[in-house]
Every structure is written in C-alpha cells, then in structure tokens.
C-alpha cells in the first residue's frame, strides 16, 4: 500500500474532489428544484377562490418564497451546512425530524439488501468460476443474466402478485406481507413501533419481499462480475505457478485468485450501493414502505421543496462517500492502483 507523502497526496486530492462533487450536487439540486413547475403555496391553502390574498403572502414570507434567486441560494447553502433545514410546507414540522424518522427504515431496508447482495453474489460468482463450465456455472450465469436485465418495479409487482393471495387456489403457497414495515393492525402490537420481539419479527416479515426485490438485480451483477474477474485471474502466470507447486484449485482460488480478483468488485460494490438506493425509491412506493423513497414521491406531488431538497442531497452525498471509500479500499488491496 502507498505510504507517506504519496498516501497523503492521494487522500488530499480525493477529499478535494469529494467536496467539489458534493457542492456541485447541492447547487444542481437547488436550481432543478427551484425551477420545478407548480406552486407550493397552492398545496398549503384551501382550494377556495375567496381565500384571503394577504394570508397567501404571509405564507410566502414565512417560507422565504419571496426571496430573489441569489438570496435563496445563499440561504439554502447556509442552512444545509448548519443543519437548519426548515419546515415542511405540508406537515409544518422540522424537515430534519421528518427525514430522520423515515431514514431509519430506509437504512434498514438498504442495509439488508446490500448484505444479501454482497454475501450471495460474491459466493455465487466465486463458486461459478471455481466450477467453470459445470452445471452450476451454466445455471447461475443464465439466471443472473435474466435477473440483471429485469426492471426492478416489474419484479416487485410479480412478487406482490405471487405472495399477496393464494394463486390458483394453492392453499400451500406461502403468504407474505406486501405493504408497510410492520403490522399496524395487530391489536397486540399497536400502531407505534417498539423494541419488542413481536414488533421485530413483524418488521423482518414485512421486509422480506422489498429487500429481496432490491437485492436481486445487484446480486446478479455482483455474481457475474465476480465470476468474470476470477476467470481472468485464473489464467495469469502466478496462478499457473501455484498449480505447478501442487496446490489444489480450491487452494489457488482461496489464497491467490480471490484477492487479485477483488479490484473490479470494489468499484462494482460502490455502484451497486447507488443502484440499491435508487431502487429503494421504486420499491418503497410499490410496497407502501414509508421510508425516504416514499417520502420523496409525496414531496414531489405536494411540491414540498424543503424535504425534497435535502433528500436529494443526502442521497448524493451517500453515493459520493461510497465511491470515496471504494477508492481507499482499492488502493489498500492492490498497491499497483494509482488514484488520480
């Protein structure tokens, strides 16, 4: 791994790039949302032509909607860095409290999908490379290609159709929850989540279908890239040398091929996180899973700009940081790589 001055230089350059990228995301986010069609005031007041005009102006003053574009931009940037995210136009609650309340459910869903993706995808890809040309390799590659090209919303709808009722009268077919994040209608649980065994089991049960939907496409991509990377590595001279020394294929794969086949995986994992976060927006709406994705759609429909602005910023920052960490890991596992 690079040490000393080269490491510090690399970290400084990447940190500067991260800061510039985040500032660019914030600026683009401001202008895109600022010029969105629609009037946020129209969603705050009754649909009554006799509604007092002075009250409309009072609302515009309250939410700083009369500010000029430069003033609004400076205020937006200042509030972003100071954590003063304002209030929701519709709910009249602090944006920070709303987003944090929704984010815990999205983090749970995205985290579960990411773990499934990495664990199963890497194992499937490595075993397919180990059994190259065999029945498992052929079957897993075909299935992975099928799911990799499948639209995530279509797969979500298929799962809802299969598990929401007994298809064709098959009473043995399992049923799973297709909406929400726990059973709010169960009188034993209540409508508010608590850290009890009943609530935790209900959350796990409700998360099976959305987490599976989000993981399946990324899992297929991870498996395919892992297989391809390891097959390329297995043809290298150092692998042939290891085999000539009497090592078995399993020993060669475990001790020599895996680490050298990981660099492409690191970049793919960072991209998979972005894919999973993007998929969460679709999955949460389809499964009525009220996290950040569900909140985003609601904010767009109601022109709730304060919520929408900071949701986009949080998502963009998460993806940028994921790629930054991936660069650091890539340099660590392969000292030959130079990040510019």
CA angle at 98 for the pair 97 and 100, rounded to the nearest 5°: 65
Give percent of the chain with pLDDT exceeding 90: 1
Decide if 69 is inside a domain.
yes
**Mean of pLDDT values over 272-293:** 81
Distances (CA, A) of 136 to 130, 143, 233: 10, 10, 20
Is 138 inside any structural domain? yes
Question: What value does the mean pLDDT take over residues 211-232?
Answer: 86
Taking residues 289-310, report their average pLDDT: 84
User: What are the φ and ψ backbone dihedral angles of 87, each rounded to 5 degrees?
Assistant: -115, 155
The whole-number pLDDT of residue 92 equals: 79
Q: What's the mean per-residue pLDDT of the chain?
A: 79
Residue 173's pLDDT band, with cuts at 50, 70 and 90, is low
pLDDT of residue 45: 66
Q: Report the domain count for the chain.
A: 1
Task: Measure CA of the first residue to CA of the last residue in the chain; give whole Å.
Answer: 15
Q: What is the pLDDT of residue 339?
A: 59
Tell me phi and psi for residue 94, to 5 degrees.
-60, 135
- Span of 167-171, 206-210, 280-284 with lowest mean pLDDT: 167-171
The range of the structural domain enclosing residue 142 comes to 4-37+64-333
Environment class of 80 (CB within 10 Å of its CB; exposed 0-12, middle 13-18, buried 19+): middle
Q: Residue 183 has what pLDDT?
A: 59
Residue 279: both structure tokens together: 């998929």
For residue 181, give the nearest of 165, 204, 161, 214 by alpha carbon: 204
CA distances from 89 to 70, 83, 272, 306 (A): 21, 17, 33, 7
* Averaged pLDDT, 205-220: 86
The CATH number of whichever domain residue 154 belongs to comes to 1.10.3720.10
**Per-residue confidence (pLDDT) for residue 1, from 0 to 100:** 46
Q: What is the mean pLDDT of residues 4-27?
A: 82
Establish if 45 belongs to a structural domain.
Answer: no
Domain-embedded: residue 290: yes
Question: Domain for residue 51, yes or no?
Answer: no
Work out the pLDDT band at 169, boundaries 50, 70, 90: very low
In-domain check, residue 50: no
Check residues 268 and 59 and name the one with the higher pLDDT.
Answer: 268
Q: Residue 21: name the closest of 321, 284, 334, 252 by CA.
A: 321
230 in Cβ contact with 126 (< 8 Å): yes
Rounded Cα gap, residues 17 and 238, in angstroms: 36
CB 86 within 8 A of CB 63: yes
How far is 214 from 48, CA to CA, in rounded Å?
A: 43
What is the band of 43 on the pLDDT scale with cuts at 50, 70, 90? low
Q: Does some domain include residue 192?
A: yes
Residue 30 falls inside a structural domain: yes
Scan for tokens 């202008």, then name that residue: 31
pLDDT of residue 56: 67
Choice between 113 and 330, residue whose per-residue pLDDT is larger = 113
Helical H segments across the chain, by residue range: 4-34, 53-62, 69-82, 95-130, 135-148, 152-163, 197-233, 237-244, 249-252, 258-261, 263-286, 292-302, 305-333
Closest C-alpha among 201, 174, 209, 200 to residue 283? 209
């Amino acid at each position: 791994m690079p040490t000393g001055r080269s490491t510090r230089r690399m970290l400084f350059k990447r940190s500067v790039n991260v800061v510039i990228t985040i500032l660019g995301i914030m600026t683009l986010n401001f202008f895109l949302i600022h010029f969105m069609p629609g009037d946020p005031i129209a969603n705050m007041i009754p649909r009554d032509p006799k509604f007092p005009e002075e009250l409309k102006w009072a609302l515009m003053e309250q939410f700083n909607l009369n500010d000029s574009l430069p003033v609004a931009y400076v205020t937006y940037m200042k509030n972003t860095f100071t954590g003063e995210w304002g209030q929701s136009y519709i709910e009249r609650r602090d944006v920070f409290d709303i987003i944090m309340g929704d984010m815990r459910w999205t983090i749970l869903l995205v985290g579960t999908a990411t773990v499934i993706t990495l664990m199963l995808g890497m194992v499937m890809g490595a075993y397919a490379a180990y059994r190259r040309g065999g029945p498992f390799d052929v079957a897993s590659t075909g299935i992975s290609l099928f799911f990799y090209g499948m639209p995530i919303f279509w797969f979500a709808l298929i799962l809802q159709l299969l598990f929401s009722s007994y298809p064709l009268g098959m009473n043995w077919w399992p049923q799973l929850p297709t909406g929400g994040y726990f059973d709010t209608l169960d009188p034993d649980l209540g409508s508010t989540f608590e850290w009890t065994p009943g609530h935790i089991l209900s959350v796990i049960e409700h998360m099976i279908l959305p987490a599976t939907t989000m993981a399946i496409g990324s899992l297929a991509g991870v498996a395919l890239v892992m297989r391809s990377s390891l097959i390329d590595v297995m043809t290298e001279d150092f692998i042939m040398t290891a085999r000539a020394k009497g090592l078995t294929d399993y020993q060669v794969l475990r001790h020599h091929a895996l680490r050298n086949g990981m660099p492409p995986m690191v970049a793919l994992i960072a991209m998979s996180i972005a894919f999973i976060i993007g998929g969460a927006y679709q999955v949460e709406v389809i499964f009525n899973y009220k996290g950040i994705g569900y909140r985003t759609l609601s904010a767009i429909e109601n022109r709730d700009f304060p919520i929408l602005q900071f949701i986009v910023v949080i998502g963009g920052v998460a993806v940028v940081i994921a790629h930054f960490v991936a660069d650091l890991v890539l340099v660590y596992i392969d000292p030959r790589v130079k990040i510019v």
